Structure 1
Amino acid sequence: MLRLLFLSTPVGPLGSGLGGGVELTLYNLAEEMQRRGHEVVVVAPSHSLLSGINLVKITGNLQIPAQTQTRDVPISLPENGVLANMWEYAHTVQTQYDLIVNFAFDWLPFYLTRFFSTPIAHFISMGSMSLALDHIMNQVAETHPGTIGVYTRSQAETFAFADTCEILSSAVDLSLYQFCAQPDNCLAWVGRIAPEKALEDGVAAAVATGIPLKIWGKIQDEDYWQSILSNYPGASLEYCGFLSTEALGASLGRCRALLMTPRWIEAFGNVAIEAMACGVPVISYARGGPTEIIRQGETGFLVPPDQVSGLVTAIESLDQIDRCNCRLQAEREYSLEALGDRFESWFDKIIKKD
Structure 2
Amino acid sequence: MRIAVLCHVRQPIAQPFAGGMESQCWHLAAGLQARGHDVVLFASGDSDPRFTIDAVIPTHYDRTFPGAEHRGFAPLIAHLDDSYAAACDRIAAGGFDVLHNNSLHRFPLEPARTARVPTVTSLHVPPYDALRWFVHASIAPTHRLTATSAHHLAAWWPDGPPREASVLHNGIDLQAWPFVPEGDGSAVWFGRMTPDKAPHLAVQAARIAGVPLTLFGPIEDRDYWDADVVPLLGGSIRYGGHLDAAAVAFEIGRASAFVFTPCWDEPFGLVAIEAMACGLPVAAFDRGALREVIGETGCFAPPGDVSALARAITTAIQRPRAPQRDRVAKAFTRDRWLDRCEDLYRDVVGRDQGPSA
Q: TM-score range by the shorter chain?
A: 0.7 to 0.9
Aligned partner of 2:354 in structure 1 is: none
Change (3 A) 1:256 1:139: same
State which of 331, 349, 352 in structure 2 corresponds to 1:351: 349
| Partner AA of 2:157 in structure 1 | A
CA distance in 1, matches of 2:189, 2:68: 20
Query: Do the aligned partners of 2:120 and 2:348 also contact (CA within 8 Å) in 1?
Result: yes
Aligned partner of 1:338 in structure 2 is: 336
Q: What does residue range 104-253 of structure 1 map to in structure 2 within 5 Å?
A: 104-111=103-110, 113-115=111-113, 117-129=116-128, 131-141=129-139, 143=140, 147-160=144-157, 163-164=161-162, 165-229=165-229, 231-232=231-232, 236-253=236-253
Offset of residue 240 of structure 1: 1.7
| Partner AA of 1:260 in structure 2 | F
CA distance in 1, matches of 2:244, 2:322: 24
CA distance in 1, matches of 2:143, 2:90: 25
Task: Compare 53-62 and 322-331 and name the one that shifted more.
Answer: 53-62
Report the 3-state secondary structure (helix = DSSP H, G, I; strand = E; otherwise coil) of the residue aligned with 1:101. Answer: strand
Aligned partner of 2:31 in structure 1 is: 32
CA distance in 2, matches of 1:43, 1:310: 44
Q: Which runs of 4+ in 1 moved over 6 A?
A: 63-67
Aligned partner of 2:309 in structure 1 is: 311
Query: Do the aligned partners of 2:97 and 2:349 also contact (CA within 8 Å) in 1?
Result: yes
Q: What is the identity percentage for the equivalent residue pairs of Structure 1 and Structure 2?
A: 27
- Deviation track 1:125-146 (CA, whole Å, cap 9, x = no partner) reads 11123x13111111113x4575
CA distance in 2, matches of 1:84, 1:338: 36
Gaps of 5+ in 1: none
Offset of residue 60 of structure 1: 5.8
| Partner AA of 1:224 in structure 2 | Y
Aligned partner of 2:42 in structure 1 is: 43
Change (3 A) 1:50 1:336: farther
- Deviation track 1:7-34 (CA, whole Å, cap 9, x = no partner) reads 1112111126675201111122222222
CA distance in 2, matches of 1:253, 1:29: 24
Could you state the TM-score of these two structures normalised by the residue count of structure 1?
0.88
| Partner AA of 2:219 in structure 1 | I
Task: Compare 212-221 and 91-100 and name the one that shifted more.
Answer: 91-100
Offset of residue 76 of structure 1: 5.0
Change (3 A) 1:145 1:309: farther
CA distance in 1, matches of 2:20, 2:43: 15
| Partner AA of 1:183 in structure 2 | G
CA distance in 1, matches of 2:324, 2:206: 22
Change (3 A) 1:115 1:332: closer
Query: Do the aligned partners of 1:33 and 1:40 also contact (CA within 8 Å) in 2?
Result: yes
Aligned partner of 2:355 in structure 1 is: none
CA distance in 1, matches of 2:17, 2:333: 24
Q: What does residue range 63-74 of structure 1 map to in structure 2 within 5 Å?
A: 69=70
Report the 3-state secondary structure (helix = DSSP H, G, I; strand = E; otherwise coil) of the residue aligned with 1:246. Answer: helix
Aligned length: 343
Report the 3-state secondary structure (helix = DSSP H, G, I; strand = E; otherwise coil) of the residue aligned with 1:78. Answer: helix
Report the 3-state secondary structure (helix = DSSP H, G, I; strand = E; otherwise coil) of the residue aligned with 1:13. Answer: coil
Offset of residue 223 of structure 1: 0.8
Report the 3-state secondary structure (helix = DSSP H, G, I; strand = E; otherwise coil) of the residue aligned with 1:350. Answer: helix
CA distance in 2, matches of 1:80, 1:25: 26
Query: Do the aligned partners of 1:181 and 1:323 also contact (CA within 8 Å) in 2?
Result: yes
Query: Do the aligned partners of 2:216 and 2:240 also contact (CA within 8 Å) in 1?
Result: yes
| Partner AA of 1:152 in structure 2 | S
| Partner AA of 2:28 in structure 1 | L
Offset of residue 4 of structure 1: 0.4
| Partner AA of 1:137 in structure 2 | V
Report the 3-state secondary structure (helix = DSSP H, G, I; strand = E; otherwise coil) of the residue aligned with 1:147. Answer: strand
